[in-house]
Amino acid sequence: MTAPKEIGPLLAFATALRRAAFPVAPDQTIGFLQAVELLGPRGIEDIRQAGLALFAIPPQRVAEYDAVFRAVFFGQTIAAPAGTTEDDTDVMEVTGAEDQAEIADDTRESGPEASRSDAEGTRLIGVSEDAALARFSAEARTRLPRRKVIRREKARSGDRLDLRRSMRSAARFDGDVTSLTYRRRKSRQRRIVFLIDVSGSMQDHSAPALRMAHKLVQSVDHAEAFSIGTRLTRLTPALKLKAEGAALARASTAITDFDRGTRLGDALWAYLGVPRYASLARGAWVVVFSDGLERDRPERLEAATDRLARMAWRVTWLTPLGAPGRFNPETEGLKAIAPHLDALEGAPDLAALTAHLLTYRPGPTVPTGPSQF
C-alpha cells in the first residue's frame, strides 16, 4: 500500500469532491486509493480515470469533477460548481422543533402571510378556494397517484396465482386442488414533491399555493413542499403543523425571498445539490407551480429540469399564466424545459391547481437522453 505521505493529495481530492457536493463515501475513497495503486499510477491521467470510475461521476458532472481535480493537483482556482450545497446557504430548512413563541415574536414581514393574523388570512381567501381545498383534503388520499410496490399480498383475484398457498392447501387434501388463491402487488401512495415559485411575478398566486401545500402535507403520508425563487426553502416541517394559520405563518417566516427575483435554475440546482432533498424526488411526482419567468440563462434551468425528470416519476409544471389544460409556452425558460416535462398546464387559480392534482393520469414514460430534443 502507498505510504501515508503519498496518499495525502489523494485523500485531499476525495475531501474536495465531497465539499463540491459529490456524494463520496469512505469505501469509495478506499477503492480509489487501491485503484490508483493498481494503475501504477503511470501519470496524472491514471489518477483522474481512477476517480471517475470509483467515485461514479455521471457525465453531466465531469466538468465539475475536472475543476476540482485541477484545483487539488494543479492548484488552479475552482469555479463555483453548478450544484450548490447546504453550506452555500441558498438552502433553508424550517425545523419543526422551533418554539411557537419564537414565531409569535418574529415580526419580519418577508411574506404575504407573515404579517397577517390567521383571521385576516381567512377573510381574504374566497369561498371557492375553501371549497376547492376542502374537496382536495377529502379526496387526496384516494385520488392522488399510487405506485405498485414489489411486495405482493393475498387477494381473491389477481394477476398471479399464489402457488405456495395453493400448494400447501392442496397438500392438506392429498394433492387435490380444492381452491386457488391469488396474489397481487400492493400499492402505496406515491411521494409528491411540490415546488412553489414565490418570486415577485407569482405574488398573487404563491399564498393560495401555500395553502394547498399545507392541505397536501396534512392529507397524505408522503408529501414534501419547497419554495423556490432566488433560493430554496424546505417547508414541510412548518406545514406539518395542523392549524393552517400557524403553519402558514411559520412557512412564511422561513421564506425570505418572497416577491423577489426569479432564479429558478439556481433554485432547482440547489434542490438537486442536496442529496437528501434530491433523493426525495427519486420516483416521486414532482409538481412545480411557477410562471417560469427565468432571469438567468434558460440553459441552466433546462439542465436542472432534465436532471429532475430523470430522477422523478413524472414532472408536472403548472403555470398560473394559462387557462386550465395544455399550455403553449412563450417564454424562453418554459420553451427550453417543455421537452423534459411530462405535463405543462395552466392553473390560474386554486380550483384548477387542486383539480389537476386530483385528476392527473400519467402517460407513458418518455426517456430523456442527453442527445434527445
Partner 1 sequence: MAVRSHIAGIDSPGALQQALRAAQYLAEPQLAIAAYLALALGKPILLEGQPGVGKTEGARALGAVLGRRVIRLQCYEGIDAAAALYEWNYPRQLLAIRQAESAAFNVYGPDFLLMRPLLQALRDPTNTLLLIDEIDRADHEFEAFLLEFLSDFSISIPEIGTERAVEPPIVVLTSNRTRELHEALRRRCVYHWIDYPQPDIEAQIVMVRASSVAEATASAVVRAVGQLRAEPLVKPPGVAETVEWAEAATLLHHQGATWPNAFLQAIGVALKDHDDLQYIQPRLAALVPGDAL
- Contacts with partner 1, 144-183, as mask; x by CB under 8 A: ----xxxxx----------xx-xx--xx--xx-x------
At which residue does the C-alpha cell 502507498 appear? 2
State the amino acid at position 257 in one-letter form. D
When the beta carbons of 27 and 105 are compared against partner 1, the nearer one is: 27
When the beta carbons of 46 and 98 are compared against partner 1, the nearer one is: 46
43 lies in the site for partner 1, by CB under 8 A:
no
Residue 25 is classified by DSSP as -
Least Å distance, CB 64 to partner 1, is: 14
Q: Please, are residues 197 and 290 in contact by the beta-carbon 8 Å criterion?
A: yes
80 lies in the site for partner 1, by CB under 8 A:
no
Least Å distance, CB 304 to partner 1, is: 13
58 lies in the site for partner 1, by CB under 8 A:
yes
- Contacts with partner 1, 103-132, as mask; x by CB under 8 A: ------------------------------
When the beta carbons of 108 and 188 are compared against partner 1, the nearer one is: 188
Q: Which of residues 258-287 bind partner 1 (CB under 8 A)?
A: 275, 279, 282-283
Other C-beta atoms closer than 10 Å to the C-beta of 337 total 29
Pick from 185, 240, 295, 335 the residue near partner 1 by CB under 8 A: 185
Whether cis (ω within 30° of 0) applies to the bond prior to 4 is: no
Stretch that binds partner 1, among 13-21, 93-101, 305-313, 327-335 (CB under 8 A): 305-313
52 lies in the site for partner 1, by CB under 8 A:
yes
Least Å distance, CB 228 to partner 1, is: 20
Q: Degrees (nearest 5) of the Cα angle 164, 167, 171?
A: 140
How are strands ordered across the β-sheet holding 160-161?
146-155, 182-189, 160-161
Residue 346 is classified by DSSP as E
Rounded CA gap, 272 and 340, in Å? Answer: 16
Please choose, from the candidates 138, 121, 283, the residue with its C-alpha nearest in 3D space to the C-alpha of residue 215: 138
310 lies in the site for partner 1, by CB under 8 A:
yes
12 lies in the site for partner 1, by CB under 8 A:
no
3-state secondary structure of 161: strand
Least Å distance, CB 137 to partner 1, is: 28
Q: Degrees (nearest 5) of the Cα angle 325, 129, 120?
A: 145
Rounded CA gap, 171 and 163, in Å? Answer: 12
Least Å distance, CB 141 to partner 1, is: 22
When the beta carbons of 39 and 155 are compared against partner 1, the nearer one is: 39
At which residue does the C-alpha cell 403553519 appear? 247
Residues 6 or more apart in contact with residue 168 via CB below 8 angstroms: none
Other C-beta atoms closer than 10 Å to the C-beta of 177 total 10
Q: Residue numbers of the site for partner 1 (CB under 8 A)?
A: 23, 25, 27-28, 30-31, 34-35, 38-39, 46, 49-50, 52-59, 148-152, 163-164, 166-167, 170-171, 174-175, 177, 185, 275, 279, 282-283, 307, 310-311, 365, 367-373
